[in-house]
Amino acid sequence: MIKGLISIRIPAFILMICKQKALTKRSATMQKLISILISSIIGLVLSSCCFLSTQSVAYARPLAKITVEAGDYTRVDTPVSLDLSGVPFGLPNERPILVEIKGDERVPLPVQLEPGSPPRLWWILSGETPAGSKRVYELVTSSTRVRRKPGMEVRKDDSVLVIHRGKQQILQYHHAIVPAPEGQSKLYDRSAFIHPLWSPEGSVLTNIHPKDHYHHIGIWMPWTKTKFEGKEVDFWNLKEGQGTVRFNRFLSTTSGPVFGGFQAEHDHVALQTEQGEKLVLKEVWDVRIYNVAGPKKDYWLWDFVSTQRCVADSPLLIEKYHYGGFGFRGAAEWHGDKAAYLTSEGKTRKDGHATRARWCDTSGVSDGQWKGVTHFSHPGNFRHPEPMRIWPEFEKEVFFNWAPEQIGEFDMKPGEDHLFRYRLYVHEGKIDVDTAERIWHDYAHPPKVTVENGARENAIVLFDGTDFSHWTHEGDKPIGWKIDDGAMKIAPKSGSLMTRQNFKDFIMHLEFKIPQLPPGIKDRGRGNSGVYIQHRYEVQIIDSYGLEPNDNGCGSLYRFRAPDKNVCGMPGRWQSYDIIFRAARYRGDKKTNNARISVWHNGVLVHNNAELTNKTGSGRPEGPEPGPVLLQEHGNEVWFRNIWIMPL
């Protein structure tokens, strides 16, 4: 079913389409005047990473009303986001504008779009929002010019990626290999870690290659005692030569007024299998720092998410052990009476090891002042509240590790995602427990965000997870596909489905999932399907994760045009297409204008008003009559859900 958000973006585009159609009935002079007016309004719409000045602003009618409820906890500068399922963000020259309603005043706010499936709209619930209160916003469009607000910036070179706020450095991520310390084994060569992490005043809070543990590298996340294909593999203690972790590629980098960050893909490699090196885990780090504080408020706030999947044919067994997973090595000067730990349960260096907690603060004296990092574990994490590895020895430096394997072993089975989410509060001074608890509640119990959307009367829900009432089999045979957990699933060799209704011009949204398949299955057998527009033009569906864009990969206009970017997700994860289609125009049987199509894959524009000169692949011949939408059965199980269409 439509989730109540689809109209947030659509009305502005529909308004433009409707006006353009209406123009054909007016004089050429009037056409020109209205075209100029529409172009001016659209061209001045706010980009997703801009800030409106608080000068007088003329707004169009609201596209949505948004309410944020603080709930049981007082909020202070809290990051919040809104699920924009089914919204084709990225239309040329269009972006949302968020204004807060304060009596008769409308205050524009910085917002930031996060592409994906689903895309999300982010902003900061600025200032203090008392428990039990709520704040109201409108999503609008405007013709007001914008000015930039200083935000979070990502800068990358051939070796490192650094996140800045203005001139201040916040953290540095190493994507190139950092060589081992002089005289040490090359097995210590390593990429894919964070160091330094800086405090708001610029002190370095992490350490790398300390002499007591050369394999400690700032902030990193390998497993220690594991078993793969019957052999021990240690990805943590590099000198053993059993395993390592390597940077593979960046999936994205993001700069903006609300957050800055990156997504990086890592390979966890077993080095001594019977076949030699073998890739065991694919891991994606999603790191983002929110633009909420900085030196003026003496803290940084950032999120760390690790998504791990076994991509080998055999599972990876994580055995019971006292450390392994998310690791933090504190600054070299943090030791003795210049270092401290404090957990959410009141435990310290003396008694904190192997206990479980919601958060743990690690701190020490750097540049003559106390500074620290508070680590928060998300309540949805595996085995939350998580056990911790804390060095109890007074003379030792600071090392901290979330270690769920302390409780017992667990399997990482092929094709299954394992999600580990943490928030870090980087602060000047010693930790204030009340502040830590407030941040914990922000993280664990975020404010409630609800939407009242605008009109969407002409949207047709083609599949809401319950039945095939809008679909038919070619030849009107019985439908062999299955409905499973709110999604329709292709039954191989049962034939394709198409809509009972024919369509001309439209906006469409659908979500799909490609199966996780063994590596031995190649090419056309990897989740092959497609969306045929008017039964003529195919938008390809297939597993293209990590490949270069091509004209028969996921998101392509099959054998006609490659996507501008390959943003295909990993198999087993839901993805989305948002499509705007304008049918070919005919005068009688003679074509006068080619069909045109724009496609957003996972919220990213991959075809921008592309011209289709003819049918693609096995599509039906072009003609003046409208046609159905067809979902192709090509011998593979593929899932579809949340399908809607809006004729234009």
Q: Give the pLDDT mean for 218-230.
A: 98
Q: Name the DSSP letter for residue 231.
A: E
Tens of pLDDT, residues 595-638 = 999 999 988 899 999 999 999 999 999 999 999 999 999 999 99
Tens of pLDDT, residues 268-327 = 999 999 999 999 999 999 999 999 986 678 999 999 999 999 999 999 999 999 999 999
Q: Where are the beta strands (DSSP E) in 299-366?
A: 299-310, 316-318, 327-329, 339-343, 356-357, 359-366
Name the nearest CA neighbour of 290 among 414, 152, 160, 189.
152
Distance CA 462, CA 484 (A): 16
Q: Which residue has the tokens 């791990």?
A: 308
The single-letter code of the amino acid at 445 is: H
Q: Which residues contact 211 (CB under 8 A, 6 or more apart)?
A: none
pLDDT-above-90 percentage for the chain:
77
* Reported confidence tier of residue 457, pLDDT bands at 50, 70, 90: low
* Reported confidence tier of residue 5, pLDDT bands at 50, 70, 90: very low
Distance CA 137, CA 452 (A): 10
Q: Give the pLDDT mean for 152-173.
A: 97
Distance CA 59, CA 47 (A): 15
Position 146 pLDDT exceeds 90: no
Q: Strand 595-601 relative to strand 604-612: parallel, antiparallel, unpaired?
A: antiparallel
pLDDT at residue 517 in the model:
81
The strand order across the sheet containing 276-294 reads 243-254, 259-273, 276-294, 299-310, 417-428, 369-377, 359-366, 339-343
pLDDT at residue 150 in the model:
60
DSSP 3-state assignment of 12?
Answer: helix
Q: How far is CA 181 from CA 15, 193, 221, 398, in A?
A: 63, 16, 20, 20
Tens of pLDDT, residues 471-523 = 999 777 899 999 999 999 999 999 999 999 999 999 999 999 999 887 767 66
593 Cα distance to chain centroid: 38
pLDDT-above-70 percentage for the chain:
85
Tens of pLDDT, residues 377-392 = 999 999 999 999 999 9
Position 89 pLDDT exceeds 90: no
Is 378:422 a contact under the CB 8 Å cutoff?
A: yes
Task: Return the number of other C-beta atoms located less than 10 Å from residue 22's C-beta.
Answer: 12
Distance CA 570, CA 18 (A): 38
Three-class DSSP labels, 577-638: EEEEEECCEEECCEEEECEEEEEEECCEEEEEEEEECCCCCCCCCCCCCCECCEECCCCCCC
Distance CA 209, CA 9 (A): 50
pLDDT at residue 295 in the model:
66
Task: Return the number of other C-beta atoms located less than 10 Å from residue 203's C-beta.
Answer: 19
pLDDT at residue 345 in the model:
98
Is 638:516 a contact under the CB 8 Å cutoff?
A: no
Distance CA 362, CA 330 (A): 8
pLDDT at residue 554 in the model:
97
**Token digits for 579?**
């499509």
pLDDT at residue 622 in the model:
97
Name the nearest CA neighbour of 327 among 396, 235, 439.
235
Q: How far is CA 189 from CA 181, 185, 192, 214, 269, in A?
A: 9, 8, 11, 10, 14
Q: What is the CA radius of gyration of the chain?
A: 27
* Reported confidence tier of residue 546, pLDDT bands at 50, 70, 90: confident
pTM, two decimals, is 0.85
Give 494 or 22, the one with higher predicted confidence: 494
Q: Which residues contact 135 (CB under 8 A, 6 or more apart)?
A: 67, 68, 100, 125, 129
Tens of pLDDT, residues 189-215 = 999 999 999 999 999 999 999 999 999
Tens of pLDDT, residues 417-451 = 999 999 999 999 999 999 999 999 999 999 999 98
User: In terms of residues, how long is the chain?
Assistant: 648
DSSP string, 61-129: --SEEEEEE-TTS-EEEEEEEEE-TT--TT-TT---EEEEEETTEEEEE--EEE-SSS-EEEEEEEEEE
Q: Name the DSSP letter for residue 336.
A: G
